[in-house]
Amino acid sequence: MLKAVHVLNGPNLNLLGTREPAVYGHETLAMIEARLAETCKAHGITLHFRQSNQEGDLVTWIQNAGRAGEPVILNAGAYSHTSIALADAIKGANARVIEVHLSNIHARERFRRVSRIAPVAYGVILGFGAASYDLALQALLSAKPES
């Protein structure tokens, strides 16, 4: 049974709501957190929701979640496209990660079309704006427990 979920957000996601709203929407990270918190509370799940512009913070949080056997919803922002360290943390800690993106990265600049996270992720959800987070949480809630 799912007891806790970690939602980890990378660089510039603290600017949601004001940063390129035509691409990323008008919802703030606080609004997304509040909505996910309601869903988690309704299911008796602890929500750990964090954001950092520092890659090392994300590495540590992924390692901690993986060691605790708790799943991660990860929007690594630009680090998705560059960070071998995050991919190594996911593999090394055996973290169960769902990668999320607000935009459809495959319809954007060429450099955004490659994710270092996707090959080591449990799943990937992208292109649904802030609802990408909700879809990832629903996927975790409906998934069969790991044996």
Catalytic residue list contains 6: no
Neighbouring C-beta atoms of residue 140, cutoff 10 Å: 18
Bridge partner residues of 47 (DSSP): 5
Task: Give the separation between CA 68 and CA 64, rounded to whole angstroms.
Answer: 6
Task: Give the separation between CA 32 and CA 75, rounded to whole angstroms.
Answer: 12
Q: Is the dihedral of CA 54, 130, 116, 68 positive or negative?
A: positive
Catalytic residue list contains 79: no
Q: Which residues of 35-44 are buried (b: 16+ CB within 10 A; e: fewer)?
A: bbeebbeeee
13 close to 80: Cβ distance less than 8 angstroms: no
Catalytic residue among 6, 24, 79, 133: 24
Catalytic residue among 101, 106, 122, 133: 101
Active site (catalytic) residues: 24, 101
